[in-house]
Amino acid sequence: MDESRQKAIEGAKVLEKHGRLDAAVELLSEAGVYDEAARILSAQRRFADAAQLLMRGVGVSIEQVPALNAEGKKLALMAAVCFARAGRNSEAVNLFVALKEHQRAAQVLEKAGDRVGAARVLASAKGRFAPSQLPQAIGAAAVTVEAAQRLEAQGKPELAIQAYVQLRRYAEAARLAKQQGTLGDAASFYAEAGMVFEAGATYVEAGDLEKAVENFVRVPRDDRRYRVAANEVSRLAAELGQLGLKMDHFLARFIAEGPLEGRDLESFYLLGKVYQQHDLIENAKEVLRKVVAKNPGYRDAATWLKTLEQQTHVASTQYERILKEEASYLAADSRAPPTLKKSSQPPALPDLPPLPNPREIQPTLAAPIPLVSTPARAASDGEASRPNEKMLSREVGEDVERIARELNPSAHQAQESTGNTLFSAGIKPTELPPVEQRPQALEPGTVLADRYRLEQQIGQGGMGVVFRATDLELTEEVALKIFKPFNEDEQALARFRQELQLSRQLLHPNIVRLFDLGVYRGSRFISMELLRGSDLKKLLVGPMEIKRGIPLLIQACAGLKAAHDRGIVHRDIKPENLFITRDEVLKVMDFGIAKRQLTKGVTVAGMVAGTPEYISPEQIDNFTAVTPASDLYSLGVVAYEMFTGHLPFQSSELVPLLMMHINNSPPPPRSFVATIPESLERLLLRLLAKKPDERFADAAALASALAQVLT
């Protein structure tokens, strides 16, 4: 990355943290970092300003856009999207057409109600078919399949293609276009037909690699050609030097399965290059480990892996350095002018759109989203608010039993008619309220932010509701987590901001992805990847087979290591926060009470955060000073439960349970299941050591030890 660009981005981040958004935009614009400047403007819903700024970066007229290089076209595409979201459809359509994004141009026109214009755009793909050639009949004859076939038989392929397009028989149009050697048209028609693998392959032939990737990543995971597509995506990612959330999510299963044949080795090797290029070192190490495991002598993979591990090994001394750096930053910040001083609360998210004026909120959402759990009583009642479901008072006194019950309320998963459970990060499905209790504005079919159409409510919890939704812009399903209004619950708002800030820093196959954020009529929402499967808790109906459990734990280690390497400690690892997809990919969820080292947490004095059955001894004693070793302890409790079918410490009362974590040794795992290997028993007991420095050095060391149990 260019040094001046990097300095501008770092400076803008500081300005963003202090809410000086216009200054951040100006700094980035002057440095020519238009994409980042536009991101800040778009997050404020200033889409027209973002589009104009991006066009300034493009620096040419719309007519000259097709001649731009890849970086220029990227800015132009972002501008087109911003114009569309600003409602400036003419500019959006012209830009999309100039970029040969005919499908997107048609979507803009269809949304505006101009279906005829949309049809003309699609039929005039890449200028092959003039809009004037789109009457509803050809040569005064009705356009039918038979007519199209006659045109084809008569040697009039272009007219036949036009007829097939009007009939929406895009596969036939693609076949003919490919025969004519117009590969770009053929690929576009394949995409229209939903034949995404064929579209990707044809775009490769046409030399349009970016569009090839766009189509390959849409190949379903259960398609027999999935691994072929994954190999192509890996190769193209290396050639383009690009990596994105959709690409990374698409490759998750491919990476989890590991290389199965020779060509896979090169794909994994190339992915290592891309991940390292994007500073995703944990991802790079993960794919290289799989290469070395399959073929230790493949190219320089083993040497390269060793170098990366030496560079990124996070020992206690390095964490001390992180602490010192953050401490010095805080100290320096305390000398800044009053308007720039850090508050005691987590830094605000400047790119979170502001809530509208309460008087402007529609009556249907004037009240908080109804929740299953009983809301906390107001302080005016003369009583303390009830503790959050993950926060419990240290001075519980007579309320121990009540708090313990609240910590573990019974939960019920929401299921689709197929019986498959869907989750999003952070909110656990519970019993849904009666239909009449739910706000009318959040019924299926509602479109949020002109982008997300709600399909089905799939979960509800203490902070809001979760919907399965369709992202109309990307035509993909996502999970939409909609939070109750936070003007009544500052603690919830702090956790919401915390989760956003931390989740946005993490890009890893074993961590739930966060995509977008916004506000809808007074309620904040975030979109994230939609997970199909079940959390680990639902799978713990007895001791789990070691051959299944250990690979899952190794994946959990990979996700935690990615967080730990960025100085982020989860602090609430438990089975409910480990989601297992249908493809046996484990995802770490819910960073709502996670923290950066030395930053002020979102708990309050006299409180302990976490879940008591899985909490580490040091969290009980001093929650704000936890390290990655605390997450390893909690994962040790999870592993103990997985393989024995029992928790290491159990009590019906809270205080005795916490004291067990501090003072008691757990029963030997083999006392529950005699077939547990001795090596696994030693590993579990080491994880549950009372002193953090007696556990494993880090999550990578734990993963290596787990892998050796299987050998």
Chain position carrying tokens 């990060």 = 425
Radius of gyration of the chain (CA): 27
Q: Which residue has the tokens 């959050």?
A: 388
Look at residue 526 and give its three-state secondary structure. strand
SS3 469: strand
Secondary structure letter of residue 496 according to DSSP = H
On the 0-12 / 13-18 / 19+ scale of CB atoms within 10 A, 336 is exposed
What is the distance between the alpha carbons of residues 352 and 154, in angstroms, rounded to a whole number? Answer: 59
572 flagged as catalytic: yes
Q: Where are the alpha helices (DSSP H) in 207-346?
A: 209-216, 226-240, 245-257, 262-277, 281-294, 301-312, 316-334
Residue-wise over 2-23: b if at least 16 C-beta within 10 A, else e? Answer: eeeeeebbeebeebbbbebbee
CB–CB of 629/687 below 8 Å?
A: no
Query: Given 572, 590, 631, 698, which residue is catalytic?
Result: 572
Instruction: Estimate to the nearest angstrom the gap between the alpha carbon of 160 and the chain centroid.
Output: 44
Residue with tokens 């936070």: 486
Please state the separation of Cα 697 from the chain's center in Å: 28
| Greatest C-alpha distance within the chain | 91
Asked if residue 427 lies in contact with residue 465, where contact means CB atoms within 8 angstroms, the answer is yes
Q: Which residues, listed in sequence order, are joined to residue 529 by a DSSP beta bridge?
A: 478
* Nearest partner of 284 among 298, 274, 294, 293, judged by Cα: 274
**Could you tell me how many helices (H) and strands (E) the chain has, helices first?**
29, 16
The residue written with tokens 């992180």 in the block is 322
Any idea how long the chain is? 711
Q: Among positive and negative, which fits the CA dihedral 294, 296, 300, 306?
A: positive
136: left (phi over 0), alpha (psi -120 to 50) or beta: alpha
Between the alpha carbon of residue 456 and those of residues 10, 241, 243, 468, 478, the distances in Å are 40, 37, 31, 5, 11
What's the first-to-final CA gap in the chain, in angstroms? 42
Place of tokens 């990355």: 1
Contact 53, 29 (CB under 8 A): yes
Output DSSP code: residue 367.
S
> Annotated catalytic sites, by residue?
572
